[in-house]
C-alpha cells in the first residue's frame, strides 16, 4: 500500500472502505490481462457493495482470464478532501491503481441522486467530464443500470449506455473494445460499431431537436445508428450467472447477507412502478437450482442471513417448497431467512411460520394508497380484507409491529384517499387489539408516505407531479388525522429530493448543464442529508435558464416526444397509454398469470416467448 494512503487512512472515518483485501476479492497479474475494467458505483462502499447487479457483473467479467474487473466507490467527504490534498487520484480497490489508467470505466446508475457523484468521481480520477473532451478511445466511460432507461441528463459525459441486463452485452462490448485496441480504431470508429450491438445506446449519435416551448420536436439519428435501442434481457434464468462466490466485506454494509434472486420481472403491473415495467418479462429460476445456489452461497460466505430477492417474492410459484428446502439447511446453522417485498394479500400462516423459524425480522407491507378506489386506479390490486387478514395472522403469531408504505400525490388522488390512509392504519391497529396474544407489550404501527415521482416507461409517464405545496398540504392533512393515535407513528419523505428526482428521471439532455453547474458548486452525495443542498440545485436550474416545474409538474401531451423516445424496454407505448386510461376509469388490469394483457415484452423472449 502506498505510504501517502496509509497516512491518510489513519485520519478518515471507516478506513476499511478504502483498502480492499476482502475475502473473495479477485486479484490478477497485471501482465496477464488485456482489458482492465473499473466497476464504479457512484455512492459509498456500504451502498455499492450491497448491489446485486454489481456482484453479478464483477463475477461475469472476472470469469474471463483476459479481463480484470476491479471496484471503485465514491469516497466520503473526509476521504475526498484527503485525496485531493495529497494529489492522489481515485483508485480501484483491488490493485490500488488509478482508474484513469484502466481500459473501461463503468458506472452503475440506480438512482438520480447519484448523478453528481458520477461527475465527482470522473474528476477525482483526473479525467475530463465530457465525452468529447476525452479524445482517445481509452479510457472508455460507460454506464448501465435502471437510470439508463432515460440517461439523457448524463448524455454528454458518458460514451455509451447499456440498456437492460448486463450479463451478455458487457462481454460483447469488451470483445469489440479489444478488437478496436488491436486494430487501432479511433473512439468514433469504436462507438459507431458499438452502436450496432443490441442494447447499446451511444448518445453522441442522437441529437435532440427542441421546439420553442422546450418540448422535443424529434431526436435525430446519425447514419448507421439504430432508430430504436431495445434493452437486453437474459433469456433463461437457469442458465444465467449466479454469484455464489462473492466478496465478503470486512466492514458492515447495508445488505450484509446472501441475496438469492428468485426471478426477474413482476406479474403485477402496478401503474406507477418503473421496475414493474422495465424488468419485464417475468423469468424465474427453478427452485432446485435456487436451493442449491442458496446453500452454496451460505457455505462460501459464512453469512448468518439470507434474503430472497425479487420484485414480489410471494408471487414466486414454488415459494413454500423453496423455503422448506432452504430452512432444512439454514435452521440448524442459525441462518435467518428473510423475505422483503411481501404482498399484503399473500402473507399466510404457512409463510409466517417459516419466516419465524430462526429469527423474526420486521414486517413491512406497501398498500401504496388508502382507499380501494385509488388502489384500483394504480392497479395495486390489493383488497383491504386481504391486508387486514395478513396483519391478523402476523399479530396472532406474535409480531407487535408493522410498517405500512404509501405514496401521496398519485394520479386521481383526493383528500378522501389521503384520509383513507389514516383509516386503514387504524383498522390495522384494531386488528392488533383483536388478535395479539399479549396486549401489554403494545404495538408499533409505522405509516410512511413518499411523494409520488412519475417515471419514464410507466403508465404515468405523462403525469405531472403534484406541486410541492400540495404535497405538504396532504402530509399535514394526514398528520392531523393521525395525531391522536399514540400507537401509530407517521413518517413522511422530504419533498426536496423527490422533486429533483422528478426533474431528472424524465429530464432531457439540457439538464446536463444543470448537473455540471451544481457539481461545480459543490454538489455530491446528494442521496445523503449531510450533503444534499436543495437551494444549490434551484440555483443551478436558474443559472441554466431551466424550470424545474417544466420537468416535474407538467402534464405531457399524448403525442409528446419523450427524451427516451429512442429507447425501448419492450413494452409498447400504446399499452402504457391504455393503462393510463384504465387508471382514470378506476379499472384494474389482471396480473400476467391470470391473463396476458399484451404489453409486448414477451417478444423479447426468443423462441415463442411465454413469460414465466
> Is there binding between residue 400 and another protein (CB under 8 A)?
no
* Binds another protein by CB under 8 A, chosen from 16, 171, 221, 275: 16
Q: Measured from the CB of residue 303, what is the shortest distance to another protein in angstroms?
A: 6
> Is there binding between residue 322 and another protein (CB under 8 A)?
no
> Is there binding between residue 19 and another protein (CB under 8 A)?
yes
> Is there binding between residue 612 and another protein (CB under 8 A)?
no
> Is there binding between residue 52 and another protein (CB under 8 A)?
no
Q: Measured from the CB of residue 120, what is the shortest distance to another protein in angstroms?
A: 23
Q: What is the DSSP letter of 478?
A: H
Q: Which is nearer to another protein, 23 or 584 (CB)?
A: 23
> Is there binding between residue 357 and another protein (CB under 8 A)?
no
The rounded radius of gyration (Å) of the Cα atoms in the chain is 24
> Is there binding between residue 398 and another protein (CB under 8 A)?
no
Cβ proximity of 342 and 354 under 8 Å? no
CA 336 to chain centre: 25
Residue by residue, DSSP assigns 324-381 as HHHHHHHGGGT-EEE--S--TTS--HHHHHHHTSS-----EEEEESSSHHHHHHTT--
Could you give the 3-state DSSP secondary structure of residue 71?
strand
Q: Which residues of 432-442 are buried (b: 16+ CB within 10 A; e: fewer)?
A: beeebeeeeee
* Angstrom distance (rounded) from CA 78 to CA 8: 10
* Angstrom distance (rounded) from CA 467 to CA 473: 10
Q: Measured from the CB of residue 261, what is the shortest distance to another protein in angstroms?
A: 21
* Binds another protein by CB under 8 A, chosen from 1, 86, 349, 596: 1
Could you give the 3-state DSSP secondary structure of residue 529?
coil
Output the 3-class SS for 182-241: HHCCCHHHHHHHHCCCCCEECHHHEEEEECCCCCEEEEEECCCCCCCEECECCCCCCCCC
Give the total of residues touching another protein (CB under 8 A): 30
> Is there binding between residue 388 and another protein (CB under 8 A)?
no
Closest CA to 265 of 606, 572, 599, 38: 599
* Binds another protein by CB under 8 A, chosen from 230, 292, 304, 487: 304
Report in angstroms the alpha-carbon separations of 36 from 52, 63, 306, 472.
21, 13, 32, 49
> Is there binding between residue 330 and another protein (CB under 8 A)?
no
Q: Which is nearer to another protein, 16 or 320 (CB)?
A: 16
> Is there binding between residue 441 and another protein (CB under 8 A)?
no
Binding segment (CB under 8 A) for another protein, from list 139-147, 273-281, 302-310, 413-421: 302-310
> Is there binding between residue 245 and another protein (CB under 8 A)?
no
Q: Which is nearer to another protein, 16 or 544 (CB)?
A: 16
> Is there binding between residue 251 and another protein (CB under 8 A)?
yes
Closest CA to 233 of 293, 173, 283: 283
> Is there binding between residue 442 and another protein (CB under 8 A)?
no
Report in angstroms the alpha-carbon separations of 390 from 213, 384, 459.
50, 10, 29
* Binds another protein by CB under 8 A, chosen from 22, 97, 123, 591: 22
Q: Measured from the CB of residue 134, what is the shortest distance to another protein in angstroms?
A: 32
> Is there binding between residue 333 and another protein (CB under 8 A)?
yes
Positions that interact with another protein (CB under 8 A): 1, 6-7, 9-10, 14-16, 18-23, 25, 248, 250-252, 298-304, 333-334, 358-359
Amino acid at each position: 500500500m502506498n505510504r501517502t494512503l496509509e497516512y491518510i487512512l489513519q485520519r478518515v472515518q471507516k478506513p476499511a472502505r478504502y483498502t480492499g483485501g476482502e475475502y473473495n476479492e479477485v486479484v490478477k497479474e497485471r501482465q496477464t490481462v488485456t482489458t482492465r475494467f473499473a466497476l464504479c458505483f457512484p455512492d459509498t462502499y456500504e451502498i455499492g457493495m450491497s448491489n446485486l447487479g454489481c456482484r453479478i457483473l464483477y463475477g461475469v467479467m472476472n470469469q474471463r482470464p483476459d479481463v480484470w474487473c476491479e471496484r471503485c466507490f465514491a469516497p466520503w467527504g473526509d476521504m475526498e478532501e484527503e485525496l485531493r490534498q495529497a494529489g492522489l487520484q481515485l483508485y480501484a480497490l483491488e490493485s490500488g491503481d488509478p482508474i484513469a489508467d484502466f481500459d473501461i470505466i463503468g458506472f452503475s446508475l440506480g438512482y438520480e441522486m447519484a448523478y453528481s457523484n458520477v461527475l465527482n468521481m470522473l474528476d477525482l480520477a483526473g479525467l475530463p467530464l465530457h465525452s468529447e473532451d476525452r479524445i482517445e478511445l481509452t479510457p472508455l466511460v460507460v454506464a448501465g443500470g435502471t437510470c439508463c432507461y432515460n440517461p439523457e441528463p448524463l448524455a454528454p459525459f458518458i460514451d455509451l449506455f447499456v440498456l437492460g441486463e448486463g450479463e451478455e452485452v458487457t462481454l460483447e462490448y469488451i470483445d469489440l473494445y479489444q478488437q478496436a485496441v488491436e486494430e487501432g480504431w479511433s473512439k468514433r470508429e469504436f462507438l459507431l460499431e458499438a452502436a450496432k450491438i443490441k442494447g447499446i445506446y451511444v448518445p453522441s449519435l442522437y441529437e435532440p431537436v427542441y421546439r420553442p416551448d422546450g418540448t422535443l420536436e424529434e431526436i435525430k439519428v446519425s447514419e448507421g445508428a439504430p432508430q430504436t435501442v431495445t434493452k437486453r434481457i437474459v433469456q433463461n434464468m437457469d442458465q444465467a450467472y449466479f454469484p455464489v462466490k462473492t466478496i465478503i466485506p470486512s466492514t458492515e454494509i447495508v445488505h450484509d447477507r446472501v441475496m438469492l434472486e428468485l426471478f426477474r420481472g413482476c406479474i403485477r403491473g402496478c401503474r406507477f412502478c418503473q421496475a414493474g415495467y422495465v424488468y419485464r418479462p417475468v423469468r424465474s429460476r427453478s427452485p432446485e437450482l435456487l436451493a442449491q445456489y442458496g446453500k452454496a452461497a451460505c457455505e462460501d460466505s459464512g453469512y448468518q442471513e439470507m434474503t430472497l430477492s425479487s420484485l414480489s417474492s410471494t408471487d414466486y410459484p414454488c415459494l413454500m417448497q423453496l423455503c422448506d428446502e432452504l430452512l432444512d439447511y439454514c435452521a440448524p446453522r442459525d441462518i435467518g431467512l428473510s423475505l422483503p417485498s411481501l404482498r399484503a394479500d399473500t402473507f399466510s400462516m404457512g409463510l409466517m411460520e417459516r419466516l419465524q423459524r430462526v429469527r423474526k425480522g420486521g414486517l413491512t407491507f406497501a398498500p401504496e394508497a388508502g382507499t380501494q378506489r385509488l388502489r384500483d386506479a394504480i392497479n395495486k390490486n390489493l383488497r383491504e380484507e386481504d391486508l387486514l387478514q395478513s396483519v391478523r395472522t402476523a399479530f396472532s403469531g406474535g409480531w407487535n409491529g408493522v410498517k405500512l408504505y404509501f405514496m401521496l400525490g398519485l394520479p386521481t388522488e383526493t383528500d378522501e384517499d389521503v384520509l383513507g390512509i389514516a383509516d386503514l392504519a387504524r383498522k390495522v391497529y384494531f386488528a392488533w387489539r383483536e388478535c395479539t396474544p399479549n396486549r401489554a407489550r403494545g404495538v408499533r404501527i409505522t405509516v410512511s408516505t413518499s411523494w409520488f415521482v412519475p417515471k419514464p416507461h410507466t403508465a404515468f409517464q405523462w403525469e405531472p407531479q403534484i406541486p410541492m405545496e400540495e404535497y405538504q398540504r396532504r402530509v399535514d392533512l394526514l398528520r392531523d388525522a393521525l395525531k391522536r393515535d399514540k400507537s401509530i407513528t407517521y413518517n413522511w419523505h422530504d419533498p426536496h429530493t423527490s422533486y429533483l428526482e422528478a426533474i431528472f428521471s424524465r429530464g432531457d439532455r439540457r439538464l446536463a448543464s444543470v448537473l455540471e453547474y451544481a457539481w461545480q458548486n459543490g454538489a455530491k452525495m446528494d442521496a445523503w442529508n449531510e450533503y444534499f443542498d436543495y437551494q444549490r440545485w434551484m440555483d443551478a436550474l436558474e443559472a441554466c435558464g431551466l424550470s424545474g416545474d417544466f420537468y416535474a409538474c407538467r402534464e405531457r401531451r399524448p403525442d409528446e416526444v419523450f427524451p427516451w423516445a429512442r429507447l425501448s424496454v419492450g413494452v409498447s407505448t400504446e399499452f402504457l397509454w391504455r393503462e393510463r386510461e384504465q387508471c382514470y376509469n378506476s379499472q384494474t388490469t389482471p396480473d400476467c398469470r391470470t391473463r396476458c394483457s399484451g404489453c409486448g415484452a414477451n417478444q423479447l423472449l426468443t423462441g415463442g416467448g411465454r413469460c414465466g
